[in-house]
Chains A and B, each alone.
Chain A
Amino acid sequence: MGLPSFKHGVHPPENKDITSGFASKRFPFPKEVILPLSQHIGTPAKALVHPGDHVERGDVIAQAEGFISSTVHATASGTVKSIELWPHPNGGMAPSIRIEVDPNSSQMRRQRIVPRWQDVKEEDLSKEIARAGIVGLGGAAFPSHVKLCPPKDQPVEVLIINGCECEPYLTSDHRVMLEMPDMVYEGIRIALKALGISRCIIGIEANKPDAIEMMRKTKPDDLDVTIQPLTVKYPQGAEKMLIKAVMDKEVPSGALPSAVGAMVQNVATAANVAAVFETGHPLIERIITITGKGIKKPGNWKIPFGTRLRDVIEHCGGLTEDASEIVFGGPMMGLGIADLDVPILKATGGILFLSKDECKRQDIMPCIRCGKCLEACPVFLNPQLMGQLAKAERYEELVDEAHLNDCMLCGSCSFVCPSNIPLSQYFAMSKTQLRRLPTS
């Protein structure tokens, strides 16, 4: 109590102690990496390599197409086997570059391709970030360079670093703050320079006291940074909720955070931006939490992108007898995985293996209008009404009167619903259906 937060929200069981004590370790290189051309929000990248080409670790293999897009790099040295449709974590098939990893390679990287950030002019920083293929690592995978170029009429005044990690089970951001706090601060310096501002707030949920302590201890004296502990509540790490908590401002409906002068960056993104400029090499790996009661050896691993789920499971001791679901991301918003061959993407912060007793299937009951979903919705929607409209396929009313576009699919309504009505699933489907409707 007393810590800042937002209104409403839910309290799912945290289950973070499964992995929060595991320091991250380097994952062995798999035999093969599969790199989808689309690992980010925006236009898929364009492949630059051909089957048979030899690539070194860190080489550009697919070029960003347009502004809102992101470059893909080889995450291991080897030979391009093919460019083909391959199972993607989002459930479909997507064009992907398959690289057969050279077992004899030392996996040394080429020389620095990214200059030191101190040598780069402010306006060119975002270009270097784009070249390094950095996307938001909090889950949405929005290209970071786009965020660093806010609209001219809405200047950013405060950089907010998101260390909430409000998704249950996941501890990768927690480990980033514990293991590389100076990298986080270096990343903050870079982002502040790119935005031409000096003020920064780091928001961390109070369930990570060691991370708060570590960030306080390592804080450089010359940076104008506030470390703000926050109430433990889901979805505290959602952009708008975090801004509300640390700035007490509501981002207007339909607007970007820059409308209230804020820019939010995930703590892992900040650390990896710093790592990119420090090492001179692009983004090709990150810390990923492997957790849940469905996997024999949970932990935190630094895994190259493109590693297949199958290889991860094998290295982590295999599935337990009662493993029941595999999720990329956290339990609230993560993607259910249908194929063990899907590769790990840039935005994969964790892989969750749920056992049967962690995700019991329950029958859907009629809505009893208890109002719990209204009390849970962090953006004050009426999920009960929206659920009825979605079920009746009344999409226009859903958007115009029930404000579907303000729904961020955080899943709080489905979580609390005593009748187990899959509300956020309805809303996700409605959003998909609306995209398919012809626009007049």
Chain B
Amino acid sequence: MTETNIKITASPHVRSADSTIKIMWSVVYSLIPVIACSIYFFGPSAILVILAAVAGCLLTERLFGSTPGSISDGSAMITGLLLGLTLPPGFPLWMAFLGGFFGMAFGKIIFGGLGQNIFNPALVGRAFLQAAFPVAITTWPAKSANWWCLQGDNFALPFMSPTVDTATSATPLGNMKFGDDPVVTPLLDLFFGTTGGSLGETSALFILLGGLYLAYKGHLNWHIPLSIFVSTFVVSGLFYALGISPFHPLFMLFSGGMMLGAFYMATDMVTSPMTNKGCWLFGFGIGFLVVIIRIWGGLPEGVMYAILLMNALVPFINRATQPRLFGTSGKKKEAQ
């Protein structure tokens, strides 16, 4: 009898097949079509920018992460990929790398690592880049004639202004907002991604597919993207109907960082509320803020700040949406 091999553990003695590492890596895998799509549209620049951002994140996690093996949990990889996908194709690589470093170090590790951060690290990195390099991050080079040509000035040296000698183009949102004569980009172009914009922001289709896959696997809380879409649609539809805003609600949904933000940034488990009720509130807040920022803000795009602002509110949302204890009315206990 092999008594010595018998272990003693606390119940439950069986566990579900899901694991944090599996969840993280399935998010990474679901991003592959989106990345492939960005390479298809933007050529080798896409690979370089994404790699630079990933390198910044992985290196920072390796150097400063709480445990030596924490790279393998996949979370730093996700941050790097998502950050890379939010950057314009002609973005200088050193800036992308720095953004990855900042996002990881000040967005996550400084809070104590995985699970402890308040803000989505990829968006922290992007917000930092937006503040530090406002020109570079809003420079959208016109598509080069040849697929294999680099876009813009990827190899600009640190602290040198990128020499933008290529023609720039505008994003659909920029066109709407700042164009002298507002141009409406056709919805189908937005959906399939044949427009200007950041690397991963242009193809709604593949982000939608990746997001649906994650939702099906239970690795993404579908309440969040749904509530973001509903509130964006309703709020922007209201302003559109009143004639205040030129943005058609469908245009709002499929342009800019909306899809990527709703499916991949807002749903970051660590920085989103824990109850479904909370997720609805969270999503409605994001949708509302996006519309407000896009219509009245100084920037054409508002998804990033909308998510970061709502991230800050998550602890309050969690507190306000505690589940009702079984066998109680759910109201606060009267003075005991």
B-binding residues in A (CB < 8 A): 10, 12-13, 168, 240, 250-255, 313, 318-319, 321, 323-327, 329, 331-338, 340, 352, 354, 358-362, 365-372, 374-375, 377-382, 384, 403, 406, 409, 411, 414-420, 422, 424-425, 428
Residues of chain B contacted by A382 (CB below 8 angstroms): 274, 322-323
State whether A418 touches B7 (Cβ < 8 A).
no
In the complex, how many angstroms separate the beta carbon of A43 from the nearest chain B beta carbon? 25
State whether B18 touches A416 (Cβ < 8 A).
yes
Main secondary structure of the interface of B (DSSP, over half): loop
In the complex, how many angstroms separate the beta carbon of B178 from the nearest chain A beta carbon? 38
State whether A418 touches B22 (Cβ < 8 A).
yes
Say which residue of B6, B274, B324 sits within 8 Å of A369 (CB atoms): B274
For residue B134, CB closer than 8 A to chain A, the reply is no
State whether A384 touches B327 (Cβ < 8 A).
no
Bound-state CA distance A255–B325 (Å) is: 13
State whether A411 touches B326 (Cβ < 8 A).
no
Among B16, B18, B115, the most chain A Cβ lie within 10 Å of the Cβ of: B16
State whether A420 touches B1 (Cβ < 8 A).
no
In the complex, how many angstroms separate the beta carbon of A351 from the nearest chain B beta carbon? 12
Q: Smallest CB-CB separation from A425: which chain B residue?
A: B10
State whether A362 touches B115 (Cβ < 8 A).
no
Residues of chain B contacted by A417 (CB below 8 angstroms): 15
State whether B276 touches A375 (Cβ < 8 A).
yes
In the complex, how many angstroms separate the beta carbon of B275 from the nearest chain A beta carbon? 6
For residue B221, CB closer than 8 A to chain A, the reply is yes
Main secondary structure of the interface of A (DSSP, over half): loop
Residues of chain B contacted by A336 (CB below 8 angstroms): 7-11, 13
Q: Smallest CB-CB separation from A7: which chain B residue?
A: B326
A-contact bits for B18-49, CB 8 A (1 contact / 0 none): 11111100000000000000000000000000
Bound-state CA distance A358–B13 (Å) is: 9
State whether B326 touches A12 (Cβ < 8 A).
no
Interface members, chain B 75-133 (any A CB < 8 Å): 113-116
For residue B269, CB closer than 8 A to chain A, the reply is yes
**20 intermolecular pairs with C-beta atoms under 8 Å apart:** A12-B12, A12-B16, A240-B327, A252-B327, A253-B325, A318-B1, A323-B6, A325-B9, A332-B13, A336-B7, A340-B1, A366-B113, A368-B20, A368-B270, A369-B270, A371-B275, A377-B323, A418-B22, A418-B23, A419-B19
Bound-state CA distance A358–B18 (Å) is: 14
In the complex, how many angstroms separate the beta carbon of B333 from the nearest chain A beta carbon? 9
In the complex, how many angstroms separate the beta carbon of A176 from the nearest chain B beta carbon? 23
In the complex, how many angstroms separate the beta carbon of A326 from the nearest chain B beta carbon? 6
In the complex, how many angstroms separate the beta carbon of B7 from the nearest chain A beta carbon? 5
Q: Contacts A323-B6, A377-B323 given: A418-B13 contact, CB under 8 Å?
A: no
State whether B2 touches A321 (Cβ < 8 A).
yes
Bound-state CA distance A326–B9 (Å) is: 9
Bound-state CA distance A254–B327 (Å) is: 8
Residues of chain A contacted by B10 (CB below 8 angstroms): 336, 422, 424-425, 428
Among B12, B18, B269, B275, the most chain A Cβ lie within 10 Å of the Cβ of: B12
Bound-state CA distance A168–B268 (Å) is: 33
Bound-state CA distance A358–B325 (Å) is: 33
For residue B146, CB closer than 8 A to chain A, the reply is no
Q: Smallest CB-CB separation from B275: which chain A residue?
A: A374
Bound-state CA distance A358–B14 (Å) is: 7
Shortest beta-carbon contacts, A-B, top 6:
A411-B12, A371-B274, A379-B326, A366-B115, A425-B10, A380-B323
Say which residue of B2, B15, B322 sits within 8 Å of A415 (CB atoms): B15
Q: Contacts A319-B2, A324-B7, A422-B10 given: A362-B15 contact, CB under 8 Å?
A: yes
Bound-state CA distance A411–B22 (Å) is: 21
State whether A331 touches B13 (Cβ < 8 A).
yes
Residues of chain A contacted by B115 (CB below 8 angstroms): 366-369, 419
State whether B1 touches A359 (Cβ < 8 A).
no
Bound-state CA distance A201–B316 (Å) is: 44
Residues of chain B contacted by A361 (CB below 8 angstroms): 7, 9
State whether A378 touches B326 (Cβ < 8 A).
yes
In the complex, how many angstroms separate the beta carbon of A177 from the nearest chain B beta carbon? 24
Say which residue of B7, B14, B323, B328 sits within 8 Å of A253 (CB atoms): B328
In the complex, how many angstroms separate the beta carbon of B121 from the nearest chain A beta carbon? 13
Bound-state CA distance A375–B1 (Å) is: 42
**4 other A-B residue contacts (CB within 8 Å) besides A331-B14, A359-B14, A418-B22:** A368-B114, A416-B18, A418-B16, A420-B19
Say which residue of A250, A384, A420 sits within 8 Å of B274 (CB atoms): A384
Say which residue of A365, A372, A381, A424 sits within 8 Å of B323 (CB atoms): A381
Q: Contacts A323-B2, A369-B270 given: A414-B327 contact, CB under 8 Å?
A: no
In the complex, how many angstroms separate the beta carbon of A292 from the nearest chain B beta carbon? 10
Residues of chain A contacted by B3 (CB below 8 angstroms): 340
Q: Contacts A365-B20, A406-B325 given: A327-B13 contact, CB under 8 Å?
A: yes
Residues of chain A contacted by B23 (CB below 8 angstroms): 368, 370, 418
Q: Smallest CB-CB separation from A260: which chain B residue?
A: B327
Among B73, B275, B327, the most chain A Cβ lie within 10 Å of the Cβ of: B327
Bound-state CA distance A325–B19 (Å) is: 21
In the complex, how many angstroms separate the beta carbon of B237 from the nearest chain A beta carbon? 30
Bound-state CA distance A323–B23 (Å) is: 29
State whether B19 touches A362 (Cβ < 8 A).
yes
In the complex, how many angstroms separate the beta carbon of B285 from the nearest chain A beta carbon? 17
Residues of chain A contacted by B113 (CB below 8 angstroms): 366
For residue B256, CB closer than 8 A to chain A, the reply is no
State whether A250 touches B11 (Cβ < 8 A).
no
Bound-state CA distance A418–B269 (Å) is: 12
Q: Contacts A324-B7, A374-B275, A420-B19 given: A403-B14 contact, CB under 8 Å?
A: no
Residues of chain B contacted by A375 (CB below 8 angstroms): 276
Residues of chain A contacted by B221 (CB below 8 angstroms): 371
